[in-house]
Chains A and B, each alone.
Chain A
Amino acid sequence: EAQVTQNPRYLITVTGKKLTVTCSQNMNHEYMSWYRQDPGLGLRQIYYSMNVEVTDKGDVPEGYKVSRKEKRNFPLILESPSPNQTSLYFCASSLSNYVPAEAFFGQGTRLTVV
């Protein structure tokens, strides 16, 4: 089954404790992206990757890091999480490197930073 898998689904952590949210896709997609969703603000793009070893900033990259060492994986790293990073996070992938022509989204990771 074609899918994007995020882990964990839910995470509560403390300020300053490094964490990684994993994202994996099994569709051999070149393009992958991370978004955060906050009430009333829709989906805002954090980082995206057009291919292996190619990553770039979206609209809200501050406080986040990503890596793309393999095509299937695109982890999101919070080196020193802060409460304003409490949010619902989505990973997405699509076949084309020209943005989400048909993007598949993961089920989301709800992060709470206390």
Chain B
Amino acid sequence: GQQLNQSPQSMFIQEGEDVSMNCTSSSIFNTWLWYKQDPGEGPVLLIALYKAGELTSNGRLTAQFGITRKDSFLNISASIPSDVGIYFCAGPDENTNAGKSTFGDGTTLTVKP
């Protein structure tokens, strides 16, 4: 199946700093999804991207669908302690007849007050 590589694997930042993380693939994706998982909870969808080059915001979060369709970026501005968690990128497996999905390994974010 397809693979998604996320970087960095973990980040330790000070409250108020901006954060940037990315997700890359060796194959093309037509949809990019970004999820956040709070400690002890299931992932929650943050942003969905459906078009190459698309830039979408959700509050302090901004995500972009790379023009090559092989990458995506998530930025968080002015981080706050509740931003702590694991951020996953995900996408459908275009090589199958839909249904399968692939998740990256996640970026773990720690925010120091």
Contacts and interface: CB of A to CB of B under 8 A. Distances in A.
Contacts of B101: 33, 45, 48, 58, 99-100
B105 A41 contact: yes
A106 B41 CA distance: 8
Interface in B1-42: 1, 6, 31, 33, 40-42
A108 B42 contact: yes
Contacts of A108: 40-42
A76 B38 CA distance: 24
Interface residues of B, number: 25
Contacts of B65: none
A31 interface: yes
A56 interface: yes
Interface string B34-58: 0000001111110010000000000
A101 B43 contact: no
Contacts of B100: 45, 48, 56, 58-59, 99
Interface of A: 4, 31, 33, 35, 40-45, 48, 50, 56, 58-59, 90, 92, 97-103, 105-108
